[in-house]
Amino acid sequence: MWAYVVRRLAYSLVTVLGVLLLLFVLFFLVTNPDDIARKAVGEKAPPQALEQWKKNHGYDKPRFWNQKHPTDTMLVDHFRRMLTFDFGNSDADDTPIWRRLKSGAGPSLSFMLPLFVLELLLTISLGLLVAFFRETYIDRMGVILCVLAMSISTVLYIIGGQYLIARVLRWFPISGFDPSPSVIARFLAIPVLVGLLSGVGDGVRFYRAVFVEESGKDYVRTARAKGCGEGRILVYHVLRNSLVPILTQVVVVIPYLVMGSILLESFFGIPGLGSITFDAINANDFATLRTMVYLGSLLFILGQILTDVSYTVVDPRVRLE
Amino acid sequence: MEPYVLSNAVAVGLLAGLLWALVSARRSRVWRDAGRELLRRRPIALTVFLAYVAIGLLDSLTWVSASSGGTPQGDSVSLHKPRSTIDRLFPDESYREKSYSAPLADREFLGGAPLRHPGRHLLGTDILGRDVVYQTLKGARVALLVGGFTTLIAIPLALLFGVAAGYFGGRIDDAVFFLISTLASMPSLLLLIALIMALGRGPAQVCLALGITGWVSFARVVRGETLKLRELDYVHAARALGASDLRIVLRHIVPNLMHLVVIAFVLTFSGLVLSEAVLSWLGIGIDGSWGRMIDQARDELSREPIIWWNLVSASVALFGLILAVNLLGDAVRDILDPRTLRERA
Amino acid sequence: MTSARGGLRAGLFLLAALTACTNDPYPAADAGKKLLYLTFDEPPKTLDPQVAYSTIDHLVIGNVYDTLLEYAYLKRPYTLIPGLAMQVPTPQVLPNGKVSYRFRLRDDLLFQDDPAFALDGEGSKTRQVRAQDVAFSLARIADPEVNSPVFETLAKIDGLREFSERLTKLRAEDPRFAQRRIDEQYALAGPIPGVRVAGPLELEIVLSESYPQILYWFAMPFTTPVPWEGVARYDGREGRDLFSEHPTGTGPWKLVDYDKRLRIALRRNPNWYGIRHPEWRAPGATYPETGESGDAAAGRLSPSVVGRALPFLEGIEFRREKESIPAFAKFLQGYYDASGIIKESFDRVIRNGELSPEMAAQGMSLSKSVLPATYYLGFNMDDPVVGREAGEQGRKLREAMSLAIDSKEYTRLFTNDRGIPAQSPIPLGIFGYEEDYRNPYRQVDLDRARALLREAGYPGGIDPKTGAPLKLSFDSPDTSAAALLQYQFFVDAWRKIGLDVSIAATSYNQFQDKIRRGAYQIFQWGWVADYPDPENFLFLLWTPMGRTHGGGPNTANFSDPRYDELFLEMKALGNGERRLELIREMRAILERERPWIELFHPESYLLTQAWLHNEKSPGLSIPTAKYLDINAEQRAELRSAWNRPIRWPAYAAAGLSVLLIVPGILTYLRERQ
């Protein structure tokens, strides 16, 4: 297994290099450093200030090839800095990006973790419920409700949730955030609810399909023939044997736990990484944006390795070679 | 060449391609049966979807003509512009108001002055007095463009890379797999945003960006399926008979992937249209889309008295299309392939 | 196992969420405090007083740094009063034609406590404010590395430009020089003749030409005293803050929390002279005894505040609100103390120009003021079609386009009539604004516009070269849905006279690029006064301010020799008959040439809650928080009365889901049998 993990890591490194190359193409080849600098230093700044800014941010170097110092180029810089996690300063206001990441990770996690756990519990239990009642009107209604829920744009859930819960019913604050433990829950209530609603349709449908397929298998039939109760079968046999697809689904979400949700965070005023990304888009802050994409990819790749390894734990039949 | 001629040509080309695909599909019994089955299972969803397509087509063919009426103070600008059938059904001079009016109202919403065209606005007008029915109808073309045009970018890409990787294997497979895992490991919304920021803003750029991010997961499926097909007896037989690789791929592999293509098309479609709504919300969507309308209208919901008709019209139109496509997608998947794509639900 | 712990956590979370069922966004501990709650949408770019230029930057900096001069709180037109200085100086013309101003600082002024002053060790210390600190600020403005936006304007100070050049040269020649402490660098770069420190508290400013507006600059944060210790210490290295995020000021408030994306908190600065020396009764630290006619009626001159020492509040809390609608909803719930009115809720809040009965019943009050600002559409005069190259033809085209735009309708649709149609660049409240002046090209007249188009060679809007309507482009860096709707309004208006204007809304970078290349035709812009003087508006059309060539704010690239001549004379004069004459002639040039289509001067409607006292909209971006007072008990009472949650739908939803599940189970049992 260790050989596998090492090989997997080596392969991941290649993927990371691919991601970095793509980021270079997107953020250094297509964009013009002069424009980024102009936006950052302001329209009234003299040309020297512009040059100074470009120098401070490393945008004054040649892109690929430097006759005198072959390693002193944007390309080399980009790879070196990203691989050593030296992200530099924001293009918009010169804040160190690391400081931003630190300040944003907490709020994102405190919002995404409850959302993730609740969503997992809700979708799996609803999925079980619908699978339990399969082929009855509850099942058909459930599937239709799921498709309906999936067909509504997240944007509409946001508008509706805020309008109804915060303005009409006055249950929770409309937006905002305060990390102190006594008040944090009330700020997260509506965004978590909206997140749940917008994800539940997709999730329930997925788990229903998994459970229905699993419960058609031979061993389940045997259990049923032995007189095992349907509820017991679902929980003890079907759920347990569906852990692999569940795990796969869970890992996909891991990067978002930290990276946050751009849409929900920025609209509800949660100062997490998602809303940092949103601000970076609006401020043309390329340095922050590419860091975010890079970190998101890293987390995803890590998550995939973890899934593969955890398969062996969950399902002894799986062996990594 | 005028740009509108080009866009007409694209529309006609798409339509012709679609018709050709339908006609050639009718020749095969499998496809004919599948079509019947779909019609039997989802008659309503199919009709609704076709209605959207019809509206989109009506709005896609544009031509310049000075024929349409024209009062003395006529709008000479639009007379010189290419206009579609939909544009002609809602000429400015008989549908334009000064500002908001409620559905079927005869007075202005703000101030209460009499409307120019009382009772003509089934769904009211927006802040600039433009008819909401008209704008909602115009949105159909954008949605189809986003969904359809983008899948037309994504699917050939996926086929090309997926088949090449699966069929030839070796170095090519390594390279393609590297490309796929690189793209797949980037958070899709972020990659989309980065692409649009790099490519610039505009309908073509948005479609291209969606296409570039959209082909990856499908390419994986194609690759897996090709791996299986490659080992089938008749492919081995064809190879033994000395058929060229190109011929094998075109005659034996690709046709057997078509059911996956159809499923992928329907399943990706709704995701793409919803993505555009999110992009609009982030301020980088396409002009005239329902997403843009929702974005413009979300503030109006807080107006007192409330202005709901813009938001509701765009949302219902969007919802209707997505629901129809989702229902069709489910059915198509069940009919054509009950197993392969299950994991991608 | 993870799911069990996760379930526990989720359960706790749910429980917490349910019991905390309140929409109060603040910690309970702050409930009774005299804190002012306000909002900001975009975070400040910088808190460096020599650099900051935006309204939100000044909202923080203005409260943290005091200026030598201030504006009288209640007086209109705006009048300067002494702040940190003992009096408002009068100009003296020197024998060599230069003009001198002498400032004397108050005795015993202190900076706020800060570790930067503890040069030899730990802890927070302070030190006295000296004339040298003002000189240091002016040197910073000239320092190219500081990148101050006002350097060009203040380069009228004798020798400031030469100082800047010397500094650059020394830094380039000697790398060791650039490593020295910042105040030593300035000292070595030599004295600035126009900034003479005449004594510990005495400062003389000498201008190389007459520029009466200079005094207004001493009422802005750019010239506030700055301690070199703060600049030297907060360099962002080794975990230290940046000076642009760590102010070391002299004002009534000090910054205690600066989380740009969430919260900016200010609290009383115990070192402020008004708090340490109320017995001075200094004009900047005492509530004024007289005001305008309306002030007494608005409760701004109640005996309980008049003549009392400032400030009244304990602190200010700014909360980030990116979206205007939630922010306004929170204001209506009582969680903000003052707010503008968003257009979405305008009809609910305002009836016939007055506060609606419901709002009045909640005890809110409304104050209106026309801002010293002008919004306009501009033509790029360097453009071959709409600009000066097209000569007579271009001028008539611009005139025709000007005649098609209805400002009144525009403000009705987009600002709820908050704004008065503009006739010239100069807004109400600024010298040179004449109430009865009507610009003949700013009245809507489509027939005349069509006639002018015909004369311009575009009959019916048709461009003879193509046989189709003349194509123009409206360039903008704003792609938001709201902005596009507004541009569409102009496009529709021009369409009525047969012109085919398309909106080219691009990203900021692409727009910048177009500006640099001069490849733009029509744009929309606004200008808010820095100080109440017509020069601050008319310079926007002065040739040396040209955008494409000089990078100045004259985005129209307007250039007219006669206008420039008049401008130079007008600038140097004090307000009077001759100045008005010059302004009228300049206005006539603009009226005919139409580089701008003046749209409107915005009007601000400010809503304040019943518990907030003494509010008066300043118009200019100047700090007023020290004059405000809050009744914290009343606020707490009203807040809880306004925000009782409606709970029954929660119970109803729970009941409904039970109703759904039970028949489900029954059906299941039946079908399984």
pLDDT at A44: 57
- ω before C77 within 30° of 0 (cis)? yes
List the single residue in B75, B197, B303 with the smallest CB-CB distance to C495.
Answer: B75
Q: Is C567 left (phi over 0), alpha (psi -120 to 50) or beta?
A: alpha
CATH number, position B139:
1.10.3720.10
Query: Residues C314-325: what's their mean pLDDT?
Result: 88
To the nearest whole percent, how much of chain C has pLDDT over 70?
Answer: 95
Query: Is A231's Cβ below 8 Å from some Cβ in C?
Result: no
Query: Tell me, what's the pLDDT at B41?
Result: 85
CB atoms within 10 A of CB C238: 5
pLDDT band at B341 (very low <50, low <70, confident <90, very high): very low
- DSSP lists the bridge partners of residue C525 as C376
Task: Out of A23-32, B97-106, C277-286, give the one with best mean pLDDT.
Answer: C277-286
When pLDDT is cut at 50, 70 and 90, the band that residue A46 belongs to is low
Q: Confidence band (pLDDT; 50, 70, 90) for A320? A: low
Specify burial of residue C15 (Cβ count, 10 A radius: 0-12, 13-18, 19+): exposed
Residues ≥6 apart with Cβ < 8 Å to C121: none
Q: Give the phi and the psi of residue B205 in degrees, each rounded to 5.
A: -65, -40
Q: What is the 3-state secondary structure (H, E, C) of C114-144?
A: EHHHCCCCCCCECCECCHHHHHHHHHHHHCC
pLDDT (tens digit per residue) in B253-296: 888 888 888 888 887 888 888 888 888 877 788 888 898 888 88
Q: Which of residues 423-462 of C touch B (CB under 8 A)?
A: 460-462
Please state, in angstroms and as integers, the Cα–Cα distance from residue A153 to each residue in A249, B280, B313, C175, following that order.
Answer: 21, 12, 14, 59
User: How high is the pLDDT of residue A311?
Assistant: 76
Q: Report the percent of chain A where pLDDT is more than 70.
A: 95
CA C188, CA A102: separation in Å to the nearest integer? 41
| Residue corresponding to tokens 């101050």 | C148
Kindly report which listed range (A34-48, A169-183, C270-284) carries the lowest average pLDDT score: A34-48
A176 inside 8 A of chain C by CB: yes
C-alpha B205: how far from chain center:
14
pLDDT exceeds cutoff 60 at C14: no
3-state secondary structure C75-95: CCCCCEEECCECCCCCCEECC
C437 three-class SS: coil
Q: Quick one: pLDDT at residue C19?
A: 52
Q: Which chains touch C (3 or more CB pairs under 8 A)?
A: A, B
Quick one: which of C329, C647, C348 has its CA closest to A174? C329
Structure tokens belonging to residue A154:
């997240």
Residue C514 pLDDT > 50: yes
If you ran DSSP here, which 8-state letter would residue B33 be given? H
Asked if the model's pLDDT at residue C162 lies above 90, the reply is: yes
pLDDT tens column, C464-513: 888 888 999 999 888 777 788 899 999 989 988 989 998 888 777 678 77
CB C110 within 8 A of CB C276: yes
Q: Is the pLDDT assigned to residue C3 strictly greater than 70?
A: no
Mean pLDDT score of chain B, rounded to an integer? 82
Q: What is the pLDDT of residue B1?
A: 52
Residues C343-367 as b or e (16 or more Cβ within 10 Å = b): bbbbebbbeeeebbeebeebebbbb
Q: Is residue B66 assigned to a domain?
A: no
* pLDDT of amino acid C1: 36
* Residue B152 in domain: yes
- Residue A43 — very low, low, confident or very high, per pLDDT cuts 50/70/90? low
Question: Which is higher by pLDDT, C580 or A74?
Answer: C580
B193-202, C128-137, C573-582: which has the highest mean pLDDT?
C128-137
Q: Which of A138-147, C314-323, C345-354 has the highest mean pLDDT?
A: C314-323
Q: Which two tokens stand for residue A176?
A: 């905002």
pLDDT tens sequence across B82-93: 778 888 888 777
According to the model, what pLDDT value does residue C6 have? 44
Q: Whole-angstrom distance between the N-terminal and C-terminal Cα of chain A? A: 6
pTM (2 d.p.): 0.77
Give the count of beta carbons closer than 10 Å to the beta carbon of residue C506.
19
Q: What distance in Å separates residue C599's CA from the closest CA in chain B? A: 18
- Shortest distance, CA A174 to any CA of chain C (angstroms): 6
What is the rounded radius of gyration, in angstroms, for the C-alpha atoms of chain B? 23
Q: H or E segment at C377?
A: strand C373-379
Write the pLDDT tens digit of every residue in C376-410. Answer: 999 999 999 999 988 899 999 999 999 999 999 99
Does the distance separating the beta carbons of B128 and C488 come in below 8 Å? Answer: yes
Residues of chain A positioned with their CB less than 8 A from the CB of C243: none
Closest by CA to B178, choosing from A19, A290, A305, is: A19
> In this complex, do C17 and A189 lie within 8 Å of one another by their Cβ atoms?
yes
Contact A145, A127 (CB under 8 A): no
DSSP string, C297-323: HTTTT-TTTTTPBSP--SEEEEEE-SS
Whether the ω angle into residue C193 lies within 30 degrees of 0, i.e. cis, is no
Measure the CA–CA gap between A310 and A5, rounded to whole angstroms. Answer: 12
A182/C242 touch (CB, cutoff 8 Å), yes or no: no
Residue B78 domain-assigned (yes or no): no
Tell me the two tokens of residue A163. 């309008």
Domains in chain A, please, with CATH?
104-285 (1.10.3720.10)
Strands C195-199 and C92-93: what pairing? unpaired
DSSP C111: P
Q: Report yes or no on B260 lying in a domain.
A: yes
**Position C616 pLDDT exceeds 90:** no
Other beta carbons within 10 angstroms of residue B319's beta carbon come to 16
The mean per-residue pLDDT over the stretch B13-28 comes to 84
Task: In whole angstroms, give the CA distance from residue C159 to residue C156.
Answer: 8
Confidence band, pLDDT 50/70/90 cuts, at residue A68: confident
Which DSSP string do the residues of C382-412 spell out, in sequence order?
TSTTTSGGGHHHHHHHHHHHHHH--HHHHHH
For C38-93, write each residue's pLDDT tens digit: 999 888 888 999 988 888 888 899 999 999 999 999 887 788 999 999 999 999 99
Contacts of C510 in chain B (CB under 8 A): 200
Specify the range with the lowest mean pLDDT, choosing from B302-316, C186-200, C536-550.
B302-316
8 Å CB contact of B302 and C507: no
Q: Do C643 and A44 touch (CB under 8 A)?
A: no
pLDDT at residue C172 tops 50? yes
Inter-chain CB proximity B187 and A300 less than 8 Å: yes
With a cut of 70, say whether residue B340 has pLDDT above it.
Answer: no
Chain C, 248 to 307: residues with Cβ < 8 Å from chain A are 259, 261-262
The full set of domains in chain C, from first to last, is 2-33+321-364+609-672 (no CATH), 42-285 (3.40.190.10), 373-603 (3.10.105.10)
Chain B's closest residue to C342, CA to CA, is B303
CB contact under 8 A, C646 and A41: no
C200 pLDDT band (50/70/90 cuts)? very high
Choose between A10 and C224: higher pLDDT.
Answer: C224
| pLDDT given for residue B285 in this prediction | 82
B301 contacts A281? CB cut-off 8 A: no
Token pair in block for residue A134? 């399969």
Beta carbons within 10 angstroms of residue C662's beta carbon: 10
- Alpha carbon of residue A36 to chain centroid: 27
Phi, psi (deg, nearest 5) at residue C279:
-70, -15
Task: Find the helix or strand (DSSP H, E) in which A304 lies.
Answer: helix A286-314
DSSP C540-569: GG-GGGBHHHH-SSBTT----HHHHHHHHH
Cα-trace Rg, chain A: 24
Of the ranges B99-103, C152-156, C159-163, C666-670, which one carries the lowest mean pLDDT score? C666-670
Binned at pLDDT 50, 70 and 90, residue B125 comes out as confident
List the single range of A237-241, B43-47, B207-211 with lowest mean pLDDT.
A237-241
Q: What mean pLDDT comes out for the span C32-43? A: 90
Q: Which residues pair with C199 in a beta bridge?
A: C202
Residue in A19, A156, A262 nearest the CB of B182: A19
What's the pLDDT score for residue B345?
Answer: 36
pLDDT digits (tens, 9 = 90+) for C331-347: 988 999 998 888 777 87
d(CA A116, CA A260) in angstroms, rounded, equals 11
Q: What percent of chain C has pLDDT over 90?
A: 51
Alpha helices (runs of H) in B42-131, residue ranges in sequence order: 43-60, 76-79, 85-89, 92-95
The residue of B42, B174, B186 whose CB has the most chain A CBs within 10 angstroms, and thus the best one to mutate to test that interface, is B186
3-state secondary structure of C253: strand
DSSP string computed for A95-137: -BHHHHHHHHHHHHHHHHHHHHHHHHHHHHHHHHHHHHTTTSH
Q: Provide the 3-class DSSP secondary structure of residue C460.
A: helix
Decide: helix, strand or coil at residue C100.
strand
Please give the pLDDT value at position A317.
67
Nearest to A190 by CA among A123, A115, A107, A261: A115
Looking at residue B71, what is its pLDDT? 42
- Tell me the per-residue pLDDT of C241-272, one tens digit each, with 9 for 90 and over: 889 889 999 999 999 999 887 899 999 999 99
Confidence of residue B338 (pLDDT cuts 50, 70, 90): low
Q: Cβ contacts (< 8 Å) between B197 and chain A: which residues?
A: 26, 31, 281, 284, 286, 289
- Kindly state the helix (H) or strand (E) to which residue A307 belongs, with its residue range: helix A286-314
> Residue C452 above 50 pLDDT?
yes
- Of B187 and B94, the structure prediction assigns the larger pLDDT to B187
Q: Which amino acid is at C296?
A: A
Query: Can you tell me the distance from the alpha carbon of C115 to that of C248, in angstroms, rounded to the nearest whole number?
Result: 10
Structure tokens at A258: 């930290």
**Mean pLDDT of all residues in chain C?**
87
Distance CA B253, CA B166 (A): 10
B212 in A contact zone (CB under 8 Å): no
Q: Are B53 and B144 in contact (CB under 8 A)?
A: yes
Which tops the pLDDT comparison, C639 or A215? C639
Q: What average pLDDT does this structure show over B226-235?
A: 85
Cβ-nearest to A35 among C6, C512, C664:
C512
Q: What is the phi/psi pair of residue C97, to 5°?
A: 90, -10
What residue type is C455 in one-letter code? E
Q: What are the tens digits of pLDDT across the range B235-257?
A: 888 888 888 888 888 888 888 88
Query: Helix (H, G, I), strand (E, B), or coil: what is residue C643?
Result: coil
Q: Do B182 and A18 touch (CB under 8 A)?
A: yes
Type of residue found at C527: W
How many domains are there within chain B? 1
Q: Residue C472 and residue C494: Cα distance in Å, rounded?
A: 10
Helix (H, G, I), strand (E, B) or coil at C506: coil
Q: Give the residue from A262, A257, A250, A270 showing the smallest Cα distance to A189.
A: A270
Q: Is residue B297 part of a domain?
A: yes
Alpha-carbon dihedral B345, C5, C7, C13, rounded to 10 degrees: -120
Enclosing domain of residue B237: 133-344
For residue B145 the two structure tokens come to: 């463009």
Touching B: A residues 107-166, CB under 8 Å: 147-148, 150-156, 159, 163
Residue C319 sits at φ, ψ, to 5 deg, of -115, 140
Distance CA B301, CA C267 (A): 37
Does B256 contact C at CB distance below 8 Å?
no
CA geometry: angle at A269 spanning A264 and A273, to 5°?
A: 70
